[in-house]
Amino acid sequence: MDLHSALIALRDPMGIPFFPWLFQGLMVLTFALHILLVNLVVGGIFLAVYHHVKGGEYGRKLSKTMACCSTVNLSLAIVLGVAPLLFVQVIYDPFWYTANAISAWWAMVFLLVITLGFLSLYVFYLKREKHPSGFGFFGLFALVMVVFAGVIMSMFAMQQLLPEKWLSWYVVKGSLQTLGGGFHAFSLGRFLHFMVPAFVNIGIYMMLYAWYFRPRTDFDQGYLDWIGKSGVRLAKIAAMIQVVIGFWWLFSTPIKFGFYRNPVFLIGAVLGFLVMVALIMVQKDPERYAVPMGIVSLVAVLGMSAAREVLRMGYLGQFDYSIYQYPVNLDWGSTVLFLVTFVMGLVVIAYPITLVFKLGRGTLSVEEG
């Protein structure tokens, strides 16, 4: 059996309940939101630990803030991470499940690692204030665990793109590797392409923090000035590094895909470049442009997510495999139910989110409350 036939045979014989483009679009969107939150977690924990060790009046305040925000962001990142994973399992099931079977041991390690990181982050957040000179180890350990979890997931994502190597990974010198301990195909350039933006996005997050709390009279205005300027400076430097990392990742992709000519990649690259240029231009007044920069950064992450999907289609297209050839057995009931509950969920949470936003900023009127 040739590889194309094997991949077709591994698909779910029941097909999928709706057209593939819907799952693909939702996968790109939810992955972008997930990786953005992961960026905020990595960048936030790094700043929390760094300023916990460095000290200083403003540094200690920032450390406390980032430790608190990182616990929330990690919770959201984990929840949102389920969505793109489910969509991958629906339309890329032959690749995802095989990659997990080959490295099943690492899938279990991932669960342990992210749990330890989550618990360690909470210990750091809850204990660092009462013991300012200690408990920094827990923050550092949480950062290492979160990054290690990202390494494992990046390995899985890359491993699924190389089905021509699956057999050589599973059968070594005539022996079946049933333990699932193989760690293959990790790409450092690809991993850094998703991790370096952590410092871009956490910098913009700091700009938004300064903008958000500026109306509050109980906040130290000098502290807000410091955090806004520190954020834009960090984001600017990280964006410059990201441009270099982006070219590294580009040159590591097979030239036969012509990825550098793909319109989606070009749009994503332009968006990333615009983020860097915009950060250089707004560094004198970071608060004024905090919201526009947040929107531009989100769009850039969406572009990066879309480019990632285009590249995956290029890898799998070598084997004449396309998700658009997946058998479709329309199930309008489940699809409509999903979309209705999704929209209603957004409507239901819109009011409390708006209320909390205004309350935290100190702009909630008595009539609104």
* Nearest of 159, 26, 161, 22 to residue 83 by alpha carbon: 26
Nearest to 84 by CA among 36, 118, 39, 116: 36
One-letter amino acid for residue 230 of the chain: S
On whether the pTM is more than 0.85, the answer is yes
**Residue appearing with tokens 């210990």:** 123
Which residues make Cβ contacts (< 8 Å) with residue 128, sequence separation at least 6? 52, 63, 64, 67, 135, 136, 139
Query: For every one of its 369 residues, what pLDDT tens digit does the chain have, with 9 covering 90 and above?
Result: 588 888 888 888 888 989 999 999 999 999 999 999 999 999 999 999 999 888 788 988 999 999 999 999 999 999 999 999 999 999 999 999 999 889 999 999 999 999 999 999 999 988 876 666 667 789 999 999 999 999 999 999 999 999 989 888 888 777 777 778 888 888 888 899 889 999 999 999 999 999 999 888 888 889 999 999 999 999 999 999 998 888 888 888 888 777 777 788 788 888 888 888 888 888 888 988 999 999 999 999 998 899 889 989 988 888 889 999 999 998 888 888 988 988 888 888 888 888 888 887 776 544 444
What's the pLDDT at 134? 64
Report the distance separating Cα 86 and Cα 90, nearest Å.
6
CA distance 169 to 367: 65
pLDDT of residue 255: 80
The Cα-based distances of 85 to 63, 88, 152, 168, 262 in angstroms read 32, 5, 14, 26, 25
Q: Alpha-carbon distance 240 to 275, whole Å?
A: 10
Map residue 87 onto helix, strand or coil.
helix
pLDDT at 369: 44
CA 109 – CA 106 distance, rounded (Å): 5
Cα separation, 262 vs 349, whole angstroms: 38
The 10 Å CB-count burial string (b at 16+, else e) for 17-36 is bbebebbbebbbbbbbbbbb
Report the C-alpha gap between 228 and 233 in whole angstroms. 9
What is the rounded CA–CA span in Å between residue 199 and residue 205?
10
pLDDT confidence of residue 366: 40
Q: Give Cα separations from 336 to 18, 22, 163, 340, 344 (angstroms).
A: 10, 12, 35, 6, 12
Residue with tokens 């599973």: 170
Give the Cα-Cα-Cα angle 67, 73, 75 (nearest 5 degrees): 110
**How buried is 70 (Cβ within 10 angstroms: 0-12 exposed, 13-18 middle, 19+ buried)?**
buried
pLDDT of residue 267: 84
111, burial (CB in 10 Å: exposed 0-12, middle 13-18, buried 19+): exposed
Phi–psi pair at 16, nearest 5 degrees? -120, 155
